[in-house]
Amino acid sequence: MKILVVSQYFWPEDFRINDLVNGLAGKGHKVTVLTGKPNYPVGKFFPGYGFFKKNVEHKDGVTIYRVPLIPRGQNNKILLSLNYFSFVFFGMLLGPFYCRQKFDLIFVFSVSPITTAIPARFLGWLRKTPVIIWVQDLWPESLTATGAISNKYILKSVEVMVEWIYKGCGLVLVQSRAFTKSILGFSVPETKIKYFPNSAESIYKAVVNDAQCEGIELLPDGFIVMFAGNIGVAQDFETIIEAARLTEHKSNIHWVILGEGRNYNWLKDEVERLEIAKTFHLLGRYPMEDMPIFFAKADAMLVSLKKAEIFSMTIPSKIQSYMACAKPIIASLEGEGARVIEESGAGISVDIEKPQSLANAVLTMEKMNHEERVHMGVKGLEYYEKNFERTMLLEQLETIMTKVVEG
């Protein structure tokens, strides 16, 4: 098949769509990507890229067309809005010129913002090509949950846009079964909605504990609880840092945070204010390829989200990464994410936004012997291989795409 993937984010930014594209190309499909200039999460163009630089690239048999956009900046709502809308504008303006060939299918990777789908819908209409959208975040629910927008008139306009997007797609894929109810609320027939979960990149697997990479020497000695990913509003670092303060009396327990995001500076200031730098470590962002090496040094992996209905419907994609590396998980989640942890036996799930509960879970995990934690990791890996394994899901996606193309 000739597949056009539309995603505002793509390599060298770290998103699951990178691996999906590589997987489809590796199976012999001709894949083209329409994306923006990389600037996530740092908020400025990656080295070598610019507004007019590197409009076309080729990587591993995939052609990548990059449209200009306004960098998202850091903690600036105006720049973030301009970032979203500039991708839509230039995607619609330049997309038809870049992507002139005939495609069998257009595939949209829909993390926030859902506006990414607008150029795809336009190209689908223009080229009479079916569109599949893979929904990672629900809009407008994500906007209200993170406090980005509260104006009811703006939210109503977003709802109208979202309905137009969903109804114009041949199929709506959802990363969590709990998303289905929300999609049905936009008058989308249930026959056009299909569950398709996230997997993890092939690099995520258990590695030997003595593997080395840049930055690994910064890890402290002791019991390590590790969080890897975006440091944003949704991840509820208020609860995490308070739980860390509650375990500070156990000097061998260390909280290690890998990543960056809009709340990074706030978190750094809180660590200094609470004077817990001896047990709470902000190591910054490292290449995704190094994550399994970091994970191997951890005693437990951490995942958390704020209390909101939208987040209870979500399965954070880091869960798949942790499971693929056979690591025990401590989860401050509710809903679908908590269900996966409990059903798999991969770790401990606690009440959301309860620092004492999270601290108690860490203390419980620290008291376990090594074999008990290894058993949890193995249970998670078994669950991953049954429900989220990469090759299995790629084959499922091929079948889904073929049915849509054939009508």
pLDDT digits (tens, 9 = 90+) for 126-148: 999 999 999 999 988 888 777 77
Which amino acid is it at 137?
Answer: D
- Indicate if 95 and 150 belong to the same structural domain: yes
Question: Above 90 in pLDDT, residue 372?
Answer: yes
On whether residue 275 sits in a domain, the answer given is yes
What's the structural domain count of the chain?
A: 2
- Tens-place pLDDT, residues 229-284: 999 989 999 999 999 999 999 999 999 999 998 899 999 999 999 999 999 999 99
* Residues 179-204 as b or e (16 or more Cβ within 10 Å = b): bbebbeeeebeeeebbebbbbbbebb
On whether residue 211 sits in a domain, the answer given is no
| Beta-sheet strands, E only, within 280-371 | 280-284, 300-304, 329-332, 347-350
On whether the CB atoms of residues 232 and 261 are closer than 8 A, the answer is yes
- Indicate if 309 and 400 belong to the same structural domain: no
On whether the CB atoms of residues 184 and 271 are closer than 8 A, the answer is no
- Indicate if 398 and 277 belong to the same structural domain: no
**Which CATH number is 402's domain given?**
3.40.50.2000
Task: Specify the pLDDT at position 280.
Answer: 98
On whether the CB atoms of residues 376 and 328 are closer than 8 A, the answer is yes
Structure tokens at 218: 């910064």
Task: Specify the pLDDT at position 262.
Answer: 85
- Indicate if 42 and 175 belong to the same structural domain: yes
- Indicate if 192 and 220 belong to the same structural domain: no
Percent of the chain with pLDDT over 70: 100
* Residues 136-153 as b or e (16 or more Cβ within 10 Å = b): bbbbbbbbbbbebbeeee
- Indicate if 145 and 263 belong to the same structural domain: no
pTM: 0.89
On whether residue 206 sits in a domain, the answer given is no
On whether residue 263 sits in a domain, the answer given is yes
- Indicate if 225 and 254 belong to the same structural domain: yes
- Indicate if 16 and 141 belong to the same structural domain: yes
- Supply the range of the domain harboring residue 101: 2-199+389-406
- Indicate if 76 and 124 belong to the same structural domain: yes
On whether residue 207 sits in a domain, the answer given is no
